[in-house]
């Protein structure tokens, strides 16, 4: 079983600034994966970044990076040089293989507003 | 190439009606998931298919919910005798292979409103 908690219902950032979205998780699996997905208003959910739990190195994708603290079960997302197009609902999610089949357990989401 | 598509995009049903929601996954994708997303919340898992086999239906909220993927491609989620609490966005996602590390590609969702 897995649980994912996002404690920030809303965050805001000025264009070109940096913002960090928080996420904590709990899982009984030893082999699991963590994701950040972005859901713009009325648009499809898309993957932002993925972290494999067995890798110590934090994942990065252009302006997006994570701070993965395995012992603390923390997985935060940092967005650098924020752009207006980054405004969306962001979901942290966890999955595992085996008999979990990769189904995603999502947090409650964080609404990110970007101010020009 | 084409992404995941879902139809209809919006559905209004009277309480007690049956509805059928369709998902066309990306061609060749083995895994197909259905999620239910209440307003302002994160999606919650409903059911999982590997090709035509439904391997996990632990998230289906009641026996009024039924899903199928008979030929391992298109999937249909059916809700019988709809209730107001069924109002939500129903998301379909597919991935190329089975496994926890796979990226899931989501469709636009079907927004169901039960009156």
Shortest CB distance from A100 goes to which of B91, B100, B107? Answer: B100
- Which residues constitute the domain of residue B62? 15-99
Query: At B89, which CATH number?
Result: 2.60.40.10
Tell whether A8 is within 8 A of chain B (Cβ).
no
pLDDT exceeds cutoff 80 at A97: no
- The answer to whether position B109 is within a domain reads no
CA distance A37 to chain B (A): 10
Q: Could you tell me the pLDDT band of residue B101, with boundaries at 50, 70 and 90?
A: confident
- The answer to whether position B35 is within a domain reads yes
Specify the number of domains making up chain B.
Answer: 1
Shortest CB distance from A106 goes to which of B42, B101, B109? Answer: B42
* Strands B10-13 vs A46-52: parallel, antiparallel or unpaired: unpaired
**Closest to B104 (Cα-Cα) out of A2, A46, A40:** A46
Shortest CB distance from B103 goes to which of A50, A96, A98? Answer: A50
* Residue B19 CA from chain centroid, whole number: 12
* Residue B63 CA from chain centroid, whole number: 15
Specify the number of domains making up chain A.
Answer: 1
3-class SS at A98?
A: helix
Averaged pLDDT of chain B: 95
**Closest to A110 (Cα-Cα) out of A5, A32, A2:** A5
């Amino acid at each position: 079983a897995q649980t994912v908690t996002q404690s920030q219902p809303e965050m805001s950032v000025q264009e070109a600034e940096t913002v960090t979205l928080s996420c904590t998780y709990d899982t009984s699996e030893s082999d699991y994966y963590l994701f950040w997905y972005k859901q713009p208003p009325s648009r499809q959910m898309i993957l932002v970044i993925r972290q494999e739990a067995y890798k110590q190195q934090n994942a990065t994708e252009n302006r997006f990076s994570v701070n993965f603290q395995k012992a603390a079960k923390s997985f935060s997302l940092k967005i650098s040089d924020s752009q207006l197009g980054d405004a969306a609902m962001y979901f942290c999610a966890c999955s595992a293989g085996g008999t979990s089949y990769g189904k995603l357990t999502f947090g409650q989401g964080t609404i990110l507003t970007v101010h020009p | 190439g084409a992404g995941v598509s879902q139809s209809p995009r919006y559905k209004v049903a009277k309480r007690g009606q049956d509805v059928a929601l369709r998902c066309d996954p990306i061609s060749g994708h083995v895994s197909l998931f259905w999620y239910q997303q209440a307003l302002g919340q994160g999606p919650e898992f409903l059911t999982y298919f590997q090709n035509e086999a439904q391997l996990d239906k632990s998230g289906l909220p009641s026996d009024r919910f039924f899903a199928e993927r008979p030929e391992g491609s298109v999937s249909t989620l059916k809700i019988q005798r709809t209730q107001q609490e069924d109002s939500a966005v129903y998301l379909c996602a597919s991935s190329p292979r089975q496994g926890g590390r796979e990226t899931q590609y989501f469709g636009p969702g079907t927004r169901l409103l039960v009156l």
